[in-house]
Structure 1
């Protein structure tokens, strides 16, 4: 009979640690969750934070100049391997998309705020500076045998005949 309290205490400890291992930690400051049992890095992002912007809301947004003139609109975002936005690609010049060219500027140079739930983007450049800026070109998706600054040299793709 003296062993019964020991068995009860052991069972209580074992059951409580199993329950603790299955609970998730509370949502952190980045809107992420971690597993309490492992203490590992966040595995899921659960919500957008106030200082974060959705790419789908930025693309197509007008970019304003320091004097509130329309400089163009965001056509795309350039994202590096680590997931950081390296640049915004702005369509400048032209009319209704005709004669427009893409200019990329570092992401940090675009000031982003929210006004009445809408993104407001300001770039401290003039229309003339953007018109005179070099055109941004995308890396060609097709392999090149010559290589260039934007395209690494790669041999042409070959396919082996199917063995029958």
Structure 2
């Protein structure tokens, strides 16, 4: 979770007790009141803003986090790279999820959430993202929301 340090620092100012409680946050995923979240306008989102975002799947289960964003040749976001499974970033599988229908949400403290309708099993069964062959195999490596 090192790339998410800047985001963690900004929320730590508001909630000093937040530092060691990341593990407990994960147990409360179902208690996040989605009605308090607002959708982030895609036009204003920078790639660096998306890295570290927690990804939720079917039934609002936490399924991973965004490790990177793939850009098109025109420098537009094409897919987010979701790190699925693993522990503390070790052994995680990277899966590309197309940006087309993704909705990024944010809470009043600026913490970001991505809700999808995928299950962890669907992501783990997906062809892994491979930076060197993504352009040639985009259709196989890029999952799309239906």
Give the aligned partner of residue 13 of structure 2: none
Deviations 1:84-142 (A, max 9, x none): 11111010011112211100010124221222133221111001101111110111xxx
Shift of 1:51: 4.3
Give me the TM-score of the superposition, normalised by structure 2. 0.58
> Which of 117, 123, 131 lines up with 2:124 in the alignment?
131
Runs (4 or more) in structure 1 with deviation over 4 Å come to 149-152
Unmatched tracts of structure 1, length 5 or more: 1-48, 140-148, 153-164
Shift of 1:66: 3.0
Give me the TM-score of the superposition, normalised by structure 1. 0.52
SS of 2:52's equivalent in the other structure is coil
Higher relative contact order (CA 8 A, sep 6+): 2
Structure ranking higher in helix proportion: 2
Contact 1:92 1:101 in 2 (8 A): yes
Which structure: larger Rg? Answer: 1
Unmatched tracts of structure 2, length 5 or more: 1-39, 137-146
